[in-house]
Structure 1
Amino acid sequence: MTTRRGFIKAGGLALFGIGSGGIPSFLAKAAANIQSPRLFQRKKVLICIFQRGAMDGLMAVTPFTDPYLKAARPTLFMSAAKSSNNPLIDLDGRFGLHPSLSAFEPMFRENRLAIVHGIGSPNTTRSHFDAQDYMESGTPFKKGTPSGWLNRAAGLLGHDAATPFQAVSLTSSLPRSLYGDSQAVAINNLRDFHVQLRGDQAGANMAAKSFESLYDQASQDLLKQTGKESFEAVKMLQTTASKNYKPAGNAVYPGSALGNSLKQIAQLIKMDVGLEVAFAESGGWDTHFNQGTQTGLFARNLSDLSSSITALWTDLEAMQDDVTIMTMTEFGRTVHQNGTGGTDHGRGSCNFILGNDVKGGLVHGKVAPLAIENLEDGRDLMVTTDFRSVFSEVANKHLGISDNKILFPEWTGEFINVMRG
C-alpha cells in the first residue's frame, strides 16, 4: 500500500496549468481548511536556464579579430567594425557581443555579467540527448546517475526543505537536473494547477486519484505533515499569483515561453515561498541551416534570451543581491559553417552568469586562435573549461555549498575564479 509520505516524495511533484478549471476540488477543500499560508525567510536563489539544442557560442560572443574564423564562415562571420551594418558590440578588443544581445551590454559594463568561453563537457559526445543528460546529471562519464546536480545542490543547502518550493522548474515536466531525493516541483502556470507525478498521463491520473483517495481517507492527518505543506503552498500560489502582475522597475518581459517562465520565477521570489533553486529552459538552438547573422532564427533566440533575463533582473530590483542567474547549453557548434548556411554539432560554447557576486565585465576562459591545429578533432572550438568548474563555483560562492564530492562526484578540478569572495 502506498503511504501518504512515500507517495508525496516519490520522484517530486509536478504542478501543471489546466486553464480555467482551477485546482482539483479535493486540493481546494484541503487548502480551505488552512487559516493562513506560511511565509518563509528569503534566501539566496540560483536560477539556471538551459539553452536546449546547443548554442553557437562563436556567434553569440565572437572572437572577431580571428582571421581563421572569418575564413571558416564566409557568410556567417560578423564584424565589430563601426562601418558594418549592425556590428558586434566590442567588449574588450577581441570578443564581440552579438547585437541581439545588446540588452546584456549595460550589465557587462557594470561588471555584473560574466561570460565563460570554451566551456563544455569533457565527454566528447555530440548527441543532444546524451550531452544534456550528462550536463544535467553532472556526471559526464556515467550514465544512469539517478539524481541531477541541481537536486543534489538543493540537498546540500544545509537545512531541510520547509517548503515544497525550495527547488522549482518552470517547465511542463521535471527536468533531469532536478531528479533526485530532494523535493522538487515543476510548475507550468502559477494560477491554475493539478497535481501530477513525473511520468505519463496514466501516472497523472493515478496521482490525482490517489491523492483524492488519501484525502478522503484521512483528511485531518493529511493536513498535519507533508501533505499539509503542499496544500499550503498551493493555496499560497493560487491566492497570491496575480493575473495582472506588474513587474517592478519598468521591466518588460517578452511574450515568449522563456519570458513567461522567468516572470513567474520573479513572482515566486517576491512571494517568499522559500525558493532557492529555479530552472527554466529555452529551445531552438539547433541551427543546422539558415542560421542567419544580424537577423534570422539565431538572432531572434538571442534577443529573447537577453530580453527575458534582463527583464527578470530589472524586475527583482532590491532583491538582486540574493540572486544569481546562469545559462548552460549542452555543447557548441562547428567552427566552419556547413553547406546550408548553418553550423553542425560541435564542442565548446559559452555561457552567461549574472549577479552582484559575479566577476563581471570579463570574458573568462581560454579560446586559442581557431587554426585547424588548435581545433578539437580538427573542426571544433576546444573545451578548455569543464562545465563543473563553473557550476560548482557558482553553487559554492552563491549558495554556500562546499561539498563538491557530492555535488559533482567525479570532478576533481578547480574553480576558474568567476565569482567574488
Structure 2
Amino acid sequence: MVRRGFLKSGGLALLGVGLMGGIPGFIAEAAAGEKIISPYKKRKTLICIFQRGAMDGLMAVTPFTDDYLKNARPNLFMSAAKTGNNSPLIDLDGRFGLHPSMKAFEPMFREKRLGIVHGIGSPNTTRSHFDAQDYMESGTPFNKGTASGWLNRAVGLLGHDALTPFTAVSMTSAMPRSFYGDNPSVSISNLQDFAIQLRGNQSGANLAARSFEDLYDKTTSGLLQQTGKESFDAMKMLQKTDLKNYKPTNNAVYPNSALGNSLKQIAQLIKMDVGLEVAFAESNGWDTHFNQGTDNGIFGRNVADLSNSMMALWTDLAAYQDDVTVMTMTEFGRTVHQNGTGGTDHGRASCNFILGNAIAGGLVHGNVKPLAVENLEDGRDLAVTTDFRSVFSEVADKHLGIDNDHVLFPDWKGDRIGVMRS
C-alpha cells in the first residue's frame, strides 16, 4: 500500500473521539497482545515521557548528605535514615537517595538497567513553563522560531523511509511540539476510539460517520482527501485482536492513570510489529508550588505513577527489552529552598531517568555540587551542569543509530556524558 503522503507536519491527528454508530469493526479488532501481523522489520524503539510542570529533581533523587539542602527545606527534606513514621529515602550510593514512592525503580537501578542524570537542564535560563518546554522539545534553546521538533528530526535521520505510518506515535490528544515537522508522525489518544481530526479545521475533523471510509467519502477537506485513503489503509493494519481485553505479559499491572494507559498502548503497538520507532507520552501535574508533601502528597503520588507506569511497561515488554529504551524529561527543576506554602518554585536543573538494557545504569550521572549559596545558580537554584542535548543526542545515537548532532540539535557542539554503554 502507498503511504508516502501520510500525516505530513502533524496535519492529521488520530484522537479519542467516538464515531456515531460505534467504532468500525477493523478498529475494534485492532491487533495488540499478539504479533498477528509483522509486515515490518523489527526495529529499536525510543519512548520519551515528558513530565510537564517541572519535576523537583532534588526530591526525586535527593543528595541526602547535603546539610545545605536540609537547612533549606525544613519541612520537605527527606532522609535515608529509618527513623520515625516517615518512609526513608532509598539509599542508592551513599549520597543520593531515591524517593520512597519510586521503589519500583530500585531493582532496575541495582541491575544497572536504570541510569539517572542529575543537574540536567537547558542552558536557557527562562522559568516560563511554555518557553522552557518549547525550547526543550524543539531542541534549540536559544531559537524560538525553530519549526520542527527534535523527535521529528530524529525520525528523518533514521536512515530509511518511513514505510509505516506508525514510525512515530504520540499518545496524546494533540501533536506535541517534539513531533512538529515534515516527517510523518501521528497523535493517538486512545487506540480503541479512533476518529480523525484535521488540525485547524474542526468542521472537517469531526464528521460523524459509520466507518472511516464513510468519513473519507463525505469530507470536503482537500488535505483529508489526499491522505485519507492512506490513513484508512494504515488503520486496517490494526486487526484481528481485541484491544479492550488486552492482557499484559507477565501479569504486568499498569496504574489506572493517563500515563499508565498511554504506556500500555505503546506496549501494544510495539508488540504488533507495525514499525514503531519513536513514541511519546506525557505525565502532568509536576508544578508543585503548594503542599508538595514528602513521602505522601502530590509529589509522592506523581513519582509513584511515573515509576509504576514505567515498570509495568518494562515488565510487559519482556521479550522486547533489548530493543526498547525509555527516557524521561522535564522543562526545569525547582528551587533549593522551600517556599512559604509548603512547596517549591520554578528553578533550573532537575534530573531524568533512562531505562534500558544498554544503559550505563546503577549510577547517578552528572555533577551536583554541595548546595551552598555560592554554588547555586542565581543564588537559589540547582545549577545546570549537563545540557539536556548531551543526553538526548547520546541516547538517540546509541539506541536508534542516529549520529548527526548538527541536524538533530543545531548550534550544539557539546560532549556526551556516558549514559549509554559503548
TM exceeding 0.5 = yes
* SS of structure 1 residue aligned to 2:308: helix
**Does residue 115 of structure 1 match 2:119?**
no
**Does residue 54 of structure 1 match 2:49?**
no
* SS of structure 1 residue aligned to 2:299: helix
Q: 1:179 to 1:212 in 2, by over 3 A?
A: farther
Match of 2:329 in 1: 328
Report matched runs for 1:209-220 at 5 Å: 215=217
Count of matched residue pairs? 407
* SS of structure 2 residue aligned to 1:369: coil
Report matched runs for 1:259-270 at 5 Å: 259-270=260-271
**Does residue 348 of structure 1 match 2:356?**
no
CA–CA distance in structure 2, aligned partners of residues 5 and 211 of structure 1:
19
Letter matched to residue 390 of structure 1: V
* SS of structure 2 residue aligned to 1:104: helix
CA–CA distance in structure 1, aligned partners of residues 278 and 40 of structure 2:
14
Q: 1:16 to 1:216 in 2, by over 3 A?
A: closer
* SS of structure 1 residue aligned to 2:236: helix
**Does the 8 Å CA contact 1:44/1:398 hold for their aligned counterparts?**
yes
Q: How far did residue 242 of structure 1 move?
A: 1.6
Letter matched to residue 51 of structure 2: Q
Q: How far did residue 198 of structure 1 move?
A: 3.0
**Does the 8 Å CA contact 1:16/1:194 hold for their aligned counterparts?**
yes
Match of 1:387 in 2: 388
Letter matched to residue 317 of structure 1: A
CA–CA distance in structure 1, aligned partners of residues 204 and 286 of structure 2:
31
CA–CA distance in structure 2, aligned partners of residues 260 and 236 of structure 1:
21
CA–CA distance in structure 2, aligned partners of residues 15 and 198 of structure 1:
10
Q: 1:414 to 1:203 in 2, by over 3 A?
A: farther
Letter matched to residue 78 of structure 2: M
* SS of structure 1 residue aligned to 2:351: strand
Match of 2:41 in 1: 41
**Does the 8 Å CA contact 1:333/1:348 hold for their aligned counterparts?**
yes
Letter matched to residue 272 of structure 1: D
CA–CA distance in structure 1, aligned partners of residues 23 and 248 of structure 2:
29
Q: How far did residue 144 of structure 1 move?
A: 1.7
Report matched runs for 1:179-190 at 5 Å: 179-190=180-191
Report matched runs for 1:303-382 at 5 Å: 303-382=304-383
**Does the 8 Å CA contact 1:196/1:207 hold for their aligned counterparts?**
no
Letter matched to residue 71 of structure 1: N
Match of 1:297 in 2: 298
Letter matched to residue 365 of structure 2: H
CA–CA distance in structure 1, aligned partners of residues 181 and 330 of structure 2:
21
Letter matched to residue 303 of structure 2: L
CA–CA distance in structure 2, aligned partners of residues 213 and 350 of structure 1:
45
CA–CA distance in structure 1, aligned partners of residues 331 and 133 of structure 2:
5
**Does the 8 Å CA contact 1:27/1:231 hold for their aligned counterparts?**
no
Q: Deviations over 1:5-26 (max 9, x none)?
A: 7685353421112346477879
**Does the 8 Å CA contact 1:13/1:197 hold for their aligned counterparts?**
yes
**Does the 8 Å CA contact 1:368/1:374 hold for their aligned counterparts?**
yes
CA–CA distance in structure 2, aligned partners of residues 144 and 236 of structure 1:
37
**Does the 8 Å CA contact 1:69/1:335 hold for their aligned counterparts?**
yes
CA–CA distance in structure 1, aligned partners of residues 9 and 368 of structure 2:
44
Q: Deviations over 1:98-138 (max 9, x none)?
A: 00000000000000000000000000000000000000000
Letter matched to residue 40 of structure 1: Y
Match of 1:243 in 2: 244
Letter matched to residue 48 of structure 1: C
Q: Deviations over 1:343-363 (max 9, x none)?
A: 000000000000001000000
**Does the 8 Å CA contact 1:118/1:366 hold for their aligned counterparts?**
yes
**Does residue 75 of structure 1 match 2:75?**
yes
CA–CA distance in structure 2, aligned partners of residues 207 and 278 of structure 1:
29
Q: Deviations over 1:200-241 (max 9, x none)?
A: 634624899x99686479xxxx99x96554323212335435
Q: 1:100 to 1:50 in 2, by over 3 A?
A: same
CA–CA distance in structure 2, aligned partners of residues 119 and 125 of structure 1:
15
* SS of structure 2 residue aligned to 1:249: helix
Match of 1:11 in 2: 10
**Percentage identity across paired residues of the two chains:** 75
**Does the 8 Å CA contact 1:131/1:330 hold for their aligned counterparts?**
yes
Q: How far did residue 148 of structure 1 move?
A: 0.3
Match of 2:163 in 1: 162
Match of 1:141 in 2: 142
Q: 1:150 to 1:5 in 2, by over 3 A?
A: closer
* SS of structure 1 residue aligned to 2:335: coil
CA–CA distance in structure 1, aligned partners of residues 232 and 420 of structure 2:
38
CA–CA distance in structure 1, aligned partners of residues 310 and 335 of structure 2:
26
Q: 1:40 to 1:228 in 2, by over 3 A?
A: farther
**Does the 8 Å CA contact 1:119/1:385 hold for their aligned counterparts?**
yes
Q: 1:304 to 1:24 in 2, by over 3 A?
A: closer
